[in-house]
Amino acid sequence: MLDRLGWCWRLLATGLCFASFGLGGLLLWALVFPAVWLLIREPARRARVSRRIIHLTFRCFVGLMRGLGVLTYEVHGLERLNRPGLLILANHPSLIDVVFLISFTPLADCVVKAALLHNPFTRGPVLAAGFIFNNAGPPMLSDCIASVQSGSHLIIFPEGTRSTPGAPLALQRGAANVAVRGRIPITPVVITCDPSTLTKGEPWWRVPPKRPHFCLVVREDLPTDKLIEGCTSDALAARRLTDYLSDYFTSETRRDC
């Protein structure tokens, strides 16, 4: 009986969290970010302020989810994010992975899906923060490299979408191309969730039988130059690095948190 009551509460609390997230996005778009645009004219500074606001909002949202008993979490190696100009690559088991990462990264930049522009709950934040859209074509690569070189923390999920539980990780080459062409070391973040929740195609109301526990581990940097040593072209280097990252994240997600 207690387990059933706990599940019912988490279902209700999960719905409340999703409603809060949507309402928060609308309020930011309608009230907060217009004020930022009026008060700050310089685009780069405006983007930094907007990213800081999103960071604080997401930190509050993570606290809300934990406070309501929707989930628990732990983070290891967070001090490794206290450096400027990082290329942060993470696996993507759940819908809220990006919420966790941005909540712990004050000036995060992100590569996001262009579809977020058509979502009224996310359009305001992604525009105000100046995030990079994945449909930008060839300029996207230059924008990503410039973001890291400017001191931002660029977050990319190399899978491009959420992973399917039990299926092999399928990484795209975009993240590897950024690392290769910019000669940028990689800061990997390994995310695990037990039991799995909010996976690809899973509706929010399909709450797992027990409270999910998220574990985020910021690992030691991966030296891009060493990993692609001997490659005769950037295309070959990106292919090798993508294969390495696929094996790396597959192995790391099987380790205990």
Domain extents in the chain: 2-252
Secondary element (H or E) of residue 194: strand 186-194
Average pLDDT of the segment spanning 207-214: 95
Q: What are phi and psi of 230, to 5 degrees?
A: 90, -10
- Contact call for residues 14 and 207 (beta carbons, < 8 A): yes
Query: 107: pLDDT confidence band, cut at 50, 70 and 90?
Result: confident
Structure-model confidence comparison of residues 135 and 109, the more confident one: 109
List the one residue out of 156, 146, 125 whose CA is nearest residue 61: 125
Q: Which pLDDT score is estimated for 224?
A: 97
Average pLDDT of the segment spanning 115-134: 82
Domain 2-252 CATH class label: alpha beta
Residue type, 11: L
Spacing of C-alpha 42 from chain mean position: 26
Angle between helices 174-182 and 139-149 (to 10 degrees): 60
Per-residue pLDDT reduced to its tens digit, 63-92? 999 999 999 999 999 999 989 999 999 999
Q: Which pLDDT score is estimated for 2?
A: 64
Q: Which pLDDT score is estimated for 116?
A: 81
Full-model pTM: 0.93
Buried-exposed string 167-182: b where 16+ CB fall within 10 A, e elsewhere: eebebebbbbbbbbeb
Spacing of C-alpha 164 from chain mean position: 17
Contacts of 74 (CB under 8 A, 6+ apart): 213, 214, 215, 216, 257
Q: Which pLDDT score is estimated for 217?
A: 97
Q: Which pLDDT score is estimated for 43?
A: 86
Token pair, residue 171, equals 């990484």
Cα 92 to Cα 242: distance, rounded to the nearest angstrom: 15
Per-residue pLDDT reduced to its tens digit, 26-38? 888 889 998 998 9
Residue type, 55: H
pLDDT at 136 over 70: no
Q: Which pLDDT score is estimated for 238?
A: 96
- Contact call for residues 253 and 167 (beta carbons, < 8 A): no
